[in-house]
Amino acid sequence: MIGEGLQAVNARIARAAAAAGRDPEAIRLVAVTKTHAPERIEEAYRLGQRDFGENYVQEALEKMDHLRARLAKEAAAGKAAANDPAGRPIEWHLIGPLQANKTRPVAERFGWVHTVEREKTARRLSEQRPANLAPLNVLVQVNISGESSKSGVPPGEALALARAIAPFPRLKLRGLMAVPEPTPDVALQRARFRAVRALFDEMNRAGLLLDTLSLGMSADLEAAIAEGSTLVRVGTAIFGVRTPARSAA
Ligand SMILES: *Cc1c(COP(=O)(O)O)cnc(C)c1O
């Protein structure tokens, strides 16, 4: 079931990339696993998926522990190489809001944070990133459709925030992330993604070295890829509809 979902999403990415004249390899798929049991993440891992997105820190830490224990057991049994021929480790992406008092476990255990919207949070992440790990990849979240969502900085403030956090030594500022208000209107989806892309280009012209545009989910990944997304965050289309049981954690 997860295998079919993953295959279908990878096929959608490939088709959308082809339609846009883009290399599908340039688009990273982050499998969004919020509310889903660790066994389902493990199943996706067995199928080769390596990037996973979680919204809630505590929930994510439990799943990381589960996966780590499972994989350590295999490594001890000498089976790791068979299950991980590419040798690529799991990368965890925090895609939900981050409170300033919860940065430490995030700095210690995630590879990416998509939701930076304050200099203070970024500074703490940099200070708390362990020296033995690569710098933490971060994205500035932009509030593109303005209204309902309170997450993200207004587009007019993104460049200043990016300039403030780019020098932090233990962070690597990679780009922008946005979650536009859902709409079935594909032209409107594209217009909103295009606005984020324009901001991204403007920031690169201003001298920032950004390479990641985190845009697109189950319902709108084609529009996002058409407008230049390099990373899509997909849950429902891989794992099915979420039951809300754990979502308020
Ligand atoms: C839940 C979530 C997703 C995945 O949404 P689907 O519609 O299930 O693909 C992507 N990005 C963010 C920020 C999310 O919270």
Nearest to 10 by CA among 223, 221, 179, 175: 221
Burial 176-202 (b: 16+ CB within 10 A, else e): bbbbbeeeeeeeebbbbbebbbebbee
Kindly report, residue by residue over 113-167, the tens digit of the pLDDT. Answer: 999 999 999 999 999 999 999 999 999 999 998 666 679 999 999 999 999 999 9
Confidence of residue 73 (pLDDT cuts 50, 70, 90): confident
Query: Cβ(59)–Cβ(17) under 8 Å?
Result: no
Whole-number percent of the chain with pLDDT over 70:
92
Kindly report, residue by residue over 193-237, the tens digit of the pLDDT. Answer: 999 999 999 999 999 999 999 999 999 999 999 999 999 999 999
Residue of the nearest CA to atom 12 in ligand 1? 95
Beta bridge pairs of residue 213: 176
Looking from the CA of residue 34, the nearest atom of ligand 1 is 1
| 97 Cα: distance to centroid of ligand 1 (angstroms) | 12
H or E element at residue 192: helix 186-205
Most ligand 1 atoms within 8 A of CB, residue of 32, 220, 238 to mutate: 32
- pLDDT the model gives residue 248: 45
| 245 Cα: distance to centroid of ligand 1 (angstroms) | 16
Nearest to 54 by CA among 89, 84, 97: 97
Looking from the CA of residue 219, the nearest atom of ligand 1 is 7
* Entry pTM: 0.94
Q: How many alpha carbons lie under 13 Å from residue 36 in its C-beta half-sphere?
A: 22
Pocket of ligand 1 (CB under 6 A): 32, 34, 55, 95-96, 179, 217-219, 233-237
Chain position carrying tokens 């594909």: 186
DSSP secondary structure letters along 110-168: -SEEEEE--HHHHHHHHHHS-TTSPPEEEEEEB--S-SS---SB-HHHHHHHHHHHTT-
Looking from the CA of residue 30, the nearest atom of ligand 1 is 10
Confidence of residue 80 (pLDDT cuts 50, 70, 90): low
- Ranges of beta strands (E only) in the chain are 28-32, 51-54, 91-94, 112-116, 136-141, 171-177, 212-214, 231-234
Most ligand 1 atoms within 8 A of CB, residue of 56, 144, 233 to mutate: 233
Burial class (CB in 10 A: 0-12, 13-18, 19+), 99: exposed
Torsion of CA 144, 126, 211, 149, to 10 degrees: -10
Measure the CA–CA gap between 162 and 207, rounded to whole angstroms.
Answer: 11
Measure the CA–CA gap between 197 and 193, rounded to whole angstroms.
Answer: 6
Q: Is the pLDDT score of 85 beyond 70?
A: no
Residue of the nearest CA to atom 11 in ligand 1? 233
Would the CA dihedral through 29, 35, 38, 44 be positive or negative?
negative
| 179 Cα: distance to centroid of ligand 1 (angstroms) | 8
Looking from the CA of residue 95, the nearest atom of ligand 1 is 13
Measure the CA–CA gap between 33 and 29, rounded to whole angstroms.
Answer: 12
Beta bridge pairs of residue 51: 91
Query: Cβ(129)–Cβ(135) under 8 Å?
Result: yes
